[in-house]
Amino acid sequence: MMNMGEEDLAMGMKFETRPKFRDVMMDWAVRRGWDLKLVKNEKHLILATCKNECNWKLRAYSIMKSTTFQIKSIRGEHTCAHKVENKQVNYKYIGKILESFVRDNTNESLQSSKNKVRRELQIEVSTHKVNRAKKHALELIRGDVKEQYTIQGFMTTVIQ
């Protein structure tokens, strides 16, 4: 996942695919402590607003019906305060954030993983969610078990 860090989303920015744009937009919002609401989430259009009802809006379209997405307009400003709880932060999102940390520290405690999330995203998450995220990060690192069996079966067929 692309880490936007301190970079702002801006009009004219282009993204390879719709899912890539959504990931970057959500990461951008989470790191700033904002909740976004997708008013429209269609194949060729995404319209996002602030969940807290401030006047911020973003509109992005696919370029000439291709897979590339471009931000066409950003209106208003976020006037809401940083939130320490964010419903958009699910275990898969946290798992992507924790992936490199878990790769280097496989035996670290859940509490240290939770502290890493707190420091990096400045949000509070439950220990249960961090546990699921850590398992997801390990799956991302090692690969899914079902996928491994599929590959082994395919290789056996090819070799014979």
Tell me the pLDDT band of 10, cut-offs 50, 70 and 90.
very high
pLDDT at 150: 66
Could you read off the pLDDT of 55-77 as tens digits, one per residue?
Answer: 999 999 999 989 999 999 999 98
Q: Could you report the per-residue pLDDT of 18-30, keeping only the tens digit for each?
A: 999 999 999 999 9
pLDDT tier for residue 3 given thresholds of 50, 70 and 90: very low
**Between residues 51 and 153, which one has the greater pLDDT?**
51
What is the model's pTM?
0.76
Confidence of residue 41 (pLDDT cuts 50, 70, 90): very high
Under 8 Å between Cβ of 94 and 133: yes
- Kindly tell me if the per-residue pLDDT of 46 is higher than 50: yes
Statement: residue 90 has pLDDT above 80: yes
Which tens digit of pLDDT belongs to each residue from 116-156?
A: 999 999 999 999 999 999 999 999 888 866 666 666 666 67
